[in-house]
Structure 1
Amino acid sequence: MTLPRKPILSMVLAAGLLAAGALSAPAQAQRSMLFSGTLAAEHGASAQAHGNVVALYYAGAHVLRYTVTWDGLSGPVTIAHLHGPALPGKDGPPEVTVHGPYKSPLSGSVMLSTETERDLMDGRIYLNLHTQKYPNGEVRAWLGKSE
């Protein structure tokens, strides 16, 4: 019995693409690091505001992919930044702007400089959500390595 050539060729190509994806996925996963943090009120903001950040950092590409969720803020988020370097309880300057639209959940990615990458690895970076009522930041989450 002979099978038509086009379906066989299609199956071979599909199998090759699946195999290539399977081989590249673990390599990419090995090069990522998981970071997370819990949003907490700051600068005298309401203690009712809360949320979290989950992020994967791909060191080879210098890319941080994130998802941020929040609730209970005094109003809409006007801007979001990664701040640092700073120690917990201290303020640091904005290093990277996290672009909107600012609706929860907020997902995206940013490129990090060598300095910001070092600060992230050292636990000196936090995500800050700014609102009109709290222009210096209403909530922040320190990004720490997760296992």
Structure 2
Amino acid sequence: MPLSGVGSTGSAACACRHGSEMLEVSMIRFPAVVTLVVAGMAVASPAMAAVLRFEGHFVGEHGTTSHPDGKVEAALNTRTNLVRYVITWSGLSGPVTAAHFHGPASEGEEAGVIVPIGGPYKSGQHGALVLSSEQAQTLQNGQIYVNLHTQAQPNGEARAQLERLTPAVRP
């Protein structure tokens, strides 16, 4: 399609041959399209939410001689900051006496309790909690872990650092 002319306003006309007739088609100005697309994104963005999935596998800590196994699976709704989680474990020195979400801390670092996890504790534990915006960002940055405590290891026997899985899903 040959361009027949571009005006000073940024609009263009296109002369197209259709059979034996010449058709004149007016092209939409590019800046107007960009403005409409950006405005549409700005209106839609706050209402759109993604569900981000996280997972962490338990490893022993604080010199434990047990061999913990299990994992934490979590899903964060980015609009509401609601986190739903399931925690499974085995191989600990005894029953879990306390469990917490800790952060912010990278793998190998320690941090304070963000949210305690209520008992009674049993493998397959599940629940939901709402994080602050800052805590939700900390989770997205991979700086939250779950710690399981036992009588033999009151400072924590098993730790699962939560890492983001891809891709995100829409709720």
TM-score normalized by the length of structure 1: 0.76
Aligned mate of 1:110, from 118, 129, 132: 129
Alignment of 1:1-147 (within 5 A): 31-147=50-166
The structure with more strand, counted as a fraction of residues: 2
Separation of aligned partners in 1, 2:83 and 2:63: 29
Measured in 1, the distance between the counterparts of 2:96 and 2:133 equals 28
Question: Structure 2 stretches of 5 or more lacking a match?
Answer: 1-48, 167-171
Q: Distance in 2 between matches of 1:136 and 1:115?
A: 25
Q: CA deviation at 1:104?
A: 0.5
Amino acid in structure 2 at the alignment position of 1:36? E
* 8 Å contact kept, 2:103–2:110: yes
Match of 1:14 in 2: none
Whether the 8 Å contact between 2:50 and 2:77 is mirrored in structure 1 is: yes
SS of the aligned residue for 2:58 comes to strand
Q: Answer yes or no: is the 8 Å Cα contact 1:65–1:108 preserved in 2.
A: yes
Aligned counterparts of 2:104 and 2:57: Cα–Cα separation in 1: 18
Could you tell me whether the CA contact under 8 Å between 2:101 and 2:114 is conserved in 1?
yes
Aligned residues: 120
TM superposition outliers: structure 1 runs of 4+ over 2 Å: none
User: Highest relative contact order (Cα 8 Å, sep 6+), 1 or 2?
Assistant: 1
Q: Distance in 2 between matches of 1:137 and 1:52?
A: 15
- Once structures 1 and 2 are overlaid, which stretch shifts more, 43-52 or 60-69? 43-52
Bigger Rg over Cα: 2
Structure 2 length-normalised TM: 0.66
AA in 1 matched with 2:99: A
C-alpha distance after superposition, 1:10-60 (max 9, x if no partner): xxxxxxxxxxxxxxxxxxxx6211000101100011242111111111122
TM-superposed deviation, 1:137: 0.6
Q: Percent identity?
A: 44
